[in-house]
Structure 1
Amino acid sequence: MTLKTFAAAFLAVCCTVAAATLATHRPTAVAVAVVPAADDLVAYGERLVTQTYAEIGPDTGKPFAGNRLACQNCHLDAGLKRSAVPLVGVDKSYPKFSARSGRTITLVERIDECMTRSMNGRPLPEDSREMAAFLAYIRSLDGPAAVQLPPAPPSPAPADVARGTEIYARVCAVCHQPHGLGKRVGQGYEFPPLWGPDSYNDGAGMDHFHRAVGFVQRNMPRGVDPDHPQLTLQEAWDVVAFLQSRPRPHYQAAP
């Protein structure tokens, strides 16, 4: 065997041994957790606010909401309208004392109150992607701390259900329908129900007289604002009295 032939054979053996060694000692793959980008969470949070029914509604694989409403049915325009329970800057207000709870609560707890009352559903797990997305979206709405408008002034005269029935038929039924069960579009509503099984329950803020009257007079019908209301204060009290007389789900406290 010549020196050249020996060198070639030796090199071939070395390569074979090296390949076998690599084959039996491959490095273990490292599992890397994929953390969603902040922008992805904000976008998901916006969908949760505007299309709650499609993301976590009763017809989805994550039925945290018990009805087919959207958060923006109360927090109008995705929480941007200042006269309609705005979400802008609301994260700066928490933790804060809750008269309803009788203690200081966090923003996470306040979101879950909406889930169990207005959405007639169940709390979101604190470590869920949904809770993270709600928080990310709210925090993305940078601005001064939200100023909640005061409750409506007292009714000039006792609220009257009969007058409210007439006002509802004349002003509200064109959108919310004469039966009050809303106008369905796809999985949700173009105009939400104001009573019935798919409405907010009797533990929601909108079931409180003063709060509902203020919301209705400042924002309804859609397109009005506090400086140009369509309903008088008395009319708002009367129509809310009618709404309060209608059936809706009963609030069940989370276990």
Structure 2
Amino acid sequence: MSFRIGVGMALMLVVVFGMLMMRFGLFGDSKDTGPLLDTAFYMDYDVTKLSSTAKNEQIKYGYEIIRNTSLHIGPKQSDSTQIYAGNNLACASCHLDGGTKPYAAPLIGVVKRFPQYRGREDKIGTIADRINGCMERSMNGKRLPDDHKAMQAMVAYMEWLGRATPKDGKVEGQGFTKVVLPNREVDLEHGKQVFEQQCVVCHGADGQGQLVANSDQYLYPPLWGTDSYNNGAGMTRVITAMEFIKANMPLGVTYDNPILTDEEAYDVAGFINQQQRPTKMNREKDFPDLVKKPVSTPYGPYVDSFPEKQHQLGPFQPIMEFYQKEYQLRKTK
């Protein structure tokens, strides 16, 4: 009897071990499982559990700014000298779940990836420079001084998020998900239909978002109009918006269980970004080296001869092929 029990337990262990090996792609066909997230995404990021030390209070403040940006450094700040964000969005409007959701531009590990070269400025920039890129574009505001307590708090929060990441800060789950780019122009009519079917319940038929009950804070942010990101923001690039939308919208979906197809995400991203929004001043000075400009940057000048409309709505493959042939650059955005 003992022998039989022992054999049974051994067989069970072999089966479990085999399942784990398949799950982690060590043998067999694992292509259907999708990328495995870095273990950093499974940590506890509840700031309320932090003790009341000076450093932890700074981390908590950074989290609060990420979640409720307009209250602290935006239009709802009562001290006009402390207003840097120009709209009432929050950093968490794009960096979902306080910057901890995979493939939603997570903030986990991001500090360790700086200093970093940025083609938009054509220089090596710091994490503070990158935050200010968002301040001037996504938040439609102005630069926050590097030594400002809000800047230091946000960086402290991001450092805390990345405490378990490798030295280079690179993790599976960073940035946005991969998509298959349709080889055609955006279908704006189809994009409008997708928006009406999937997006209006949160963002409204007019794209102006939805407020928290009995509050002037957004529950769901506006996607266009005066209180949205300006036309110099990275999200105005159709490919970037498509990647974000595919893995995160409608609210509640995840990268490994999306609702929208690549075609639907592509068209609705194009529809949203054809709507009116604030203008970024001096955006023509972006990308001093025009060869580095992403193909879906919706505003000129360009080093290529493709029309601005094609840079906005595609097809993007001919533009990508041009840069591959002329400059040996493989562009994906």
Does the alignment reach a TM-score above 0.5?
yes
| Aligned-partner Cα distance in 2 for 1:151–1:187 | 35
- Structure 1 length as normaliser, TM-score? 0.82
| Aligned-partner Cα distance in 2 for 1:200–1:191 | 14
After superposing on structure 2, the runs of 4+ consecutive aligned residues of structure 1 that deviate more than 6 Å are none
Q: 1:173 aligns with which of 189, 193, 200?
A: 200
Structure 1 window deviating more from structure 2 (131-140 vs 148-157): it is: 148-157
SS in 2 for 1:218: helix
1:161 corresponds in structure 2 to: 188
| Aligned-partner Cα distance in 1 for 2:164–2:197 | 38
Deviation at 1:82, TM superposition (A): 1.2
Q: Cα RMSD (Å) of the superposition?
A: 1.6
2:76 corresponds in structure 1 to: 59
- Structure 2 length as normaliser, TM-score? 0.63
Deviation at 1:48, TM superposition (A): 0.6
2:67 corresponds in structure 1 to: 50
Deviation at 1:153, TM superposition (A): 3.1
1:19 corresponds in structure 2 to: none
Q: Which has the higher contact order (CA 8 A, sep 6+)?
A: 1
| 1:143 and 2:160 are equivalent in the alignment | no
1:189 corresponds in structure 2 to: 218
Conserved? CA contact 1:203–1:251, under 8 Å: yes
1:102 corresponds in structure 2 to: 122
1:210 corresponds in structure 2 to: 239
Distance 1:253 1:213, change over 3 A: same
Counterpart code for 2:265:
A
| 1:37 and 2:64 are equivalent in the alignment | no
| Aligned-partner Cα distance in 2 for 1:236–1:140 | 33
Counterpart code for 1:52:
T
Conserved? CA contact 1:152–1:211, under 8 Å: no
Counterpart code for 1:51:
N
| Aligned-partner Cα distance in 2 for 1:98–1:223 | 31
SS in 2 for 1:119: coil
| Aligned-partner Cα distance in 1 for 2:183–2:258 | 16
Q: 2:146 aligns with which of 100, 103, 126?
A: 126
Counterpart code for 1:188:
Q
CA offsets per residue over residues 108-146 of structure 1, 9 Å max, x none? 100111111110011111111011111111101123224
Distance 1:113 1:241, change over 3 A: same
Conserved? CA contact 1:116–1:253, under 8 Å: no
* Structure 1: unaligned runs, 5 residues or longer: 1-35
Deviation at 1:159, TM superposition (A): 1.3
Deviation at 1:187, TM superposition (A): 3.3
Structure 1 window deviating more from structure 2 (221-230 vs 85-94): it is: 221-230
Count how many residue pairs are aligned between Structure 1 and Structure 2.
219
2:47 corresponds in structure 1 to: none
* Structure 2: unaligned runs, 5 residues or longer: 1-52, 284-333
Deviation at 1:151, TM superposition (A): 5.7
Conserved? CA contact 2:85–2:139, under 8 Å: yes
SS in 1 for 2:199: helix
Conserved? CA contact 2:177–2:247, under 8 Å: no
Conserved? CA contact 2:177–2:255, under 8 Å: no
| Aligned-partner Cα distance in 2 for 1:201–1:149 | 20
SS in 2 for 1:193: coil
| Aligned-partner Cα distance in 2 for 1:212–1:143 | 29
| Aligned-partner Cα distance in 2 for 1:150–1:170 | 22
| Aligned-partner Cα distance in 1 for 2:261–2:183 | 10
2:310 corresponds in structure 1 to: none
SS in 2 for 1:190: strand
Q: Percent identity?
A: 39
| Aligned-partner Cα distance in 1 for 2:113–2:239 | 22
